[in-house]
Amino acid sequence: SKALGITKGVLVLDVPESSPAFKAGMKGTSRSESGLITIGDIIVKVEDKAINKEADLFEALESFKPGDRVR
């Protein structure tokens, strides 16, 4: 994601259409047929914890279980 100019947070790459995240409106990154990249959502905070890199996201999510609502 740093190659795309994202210096803070974690870029969402894929959001399965059957997932609660998709139903909540989360968008993944995509590439058009012509090769243009559409940047997906960038997670910068989970509850009150700042997210600057993947390790931060994994640590923040450890206290949740599948089905929990995360803000």
* The pLDDT of residue 3: 74
User: Per-residue pLDDT tens for 5-30?
Assistant: 888 999 999 999 999 999 999 999 99
Residue for token pair 């059957």: 18
Label residue 14 exposed, middle or buried (CB < 10 Å: 0-12, 13-18, 19+). Answer: exposed
The dihedral of CA 40, 44, 45, 51: what is its sign? Answer: positive
66 vs 41: which has the higher pLDDT: 41
pTM of the shown model: 0.84
- Average pLDDT in the 37-63 region? 95
> What's the gap between Cα 6 and its chain centre?
12
Q: 67 pLDDT exceeds 80?
A: yes
The tokens for 70 are 């995360």
Confidence tier at 71 by pLDDT (50, 70, 90): confident
